[in-house]
Amino acid sequence: MKKTEAAHPGILRGNPRAGRIRPFTERVQSVIRAIPRGKVASYGQVAALAGDARQARQVAWILHSTSEGEGLPWHRVIGARGRISLPRGRGGSEQARRLRREGVRVGANGTIALAVFGWRGRSGRTTALEKMDLNRLA
C-alpha cells in the first residue's frame, strides 16, 4: 500500500480508479445512514455491519474524512463502551447536543445507555455490553 493510501484509506490513489471511494467506505457510509434518529451504534458495530469487524478505527477515519461532505449522521456513532469518544471542545459537546435533540439521554461524562438507545442493526441481537447496561438499569 502506498503512503497516500495509508493516510487516506477511503480513497483509491495511484491507479486508474483514483478518486473513487473504496467499497468498504461505501458500506460504512451506508450503515451509518441506516442508524435511525434517537439511536446510536459503536464504531465496531458499524465496521462489523459493513463487513469487517476489525476495522473500527477505519470507521472513525471514514467519519472524520467524509461525514460533512456526505451528510452522514456522524453523531450517532459512539465508542464501544457506550460513551462519546470525542473530547469536549473538539466535537464531543456538539455530538451530545445533537443526540439530545434526537431524544438520546447523554450523561454528564458522555455515557449513553446502549440497552435503551443502542441500535441493533440488521441482526436485532442484544450485545453483551447492552446486557450489562440492562442489569445496571434494573
Each domain of the chain, given as residue ranges in start order, spans: 3-137
pLDDT at 22: 86
Below-50 pLDDT ranges, the chain: 1-8, 10-18, 126, 129-138
pLDDT at 108: 87
pLDDT at 121: 81
d(CA 36, CA 43): 15
pLDDT at 20: 58
Question: Which residues are within 8 A (CB) of 12 and not within 5 positions of it... i.e. 6 or more apart?
Answer: 5, 18, 19, 20, 21, 22
pLDDT at 28: 95
Specify the fold of 3-137: Arc Repressor Mutant, subunit A (1.10.10)
Structure pTM? 0.74
DSSP 121: T
CA distances from 100 to 9, 22, 52, 76, 111 (A): 31, 33, 30, 11, 12
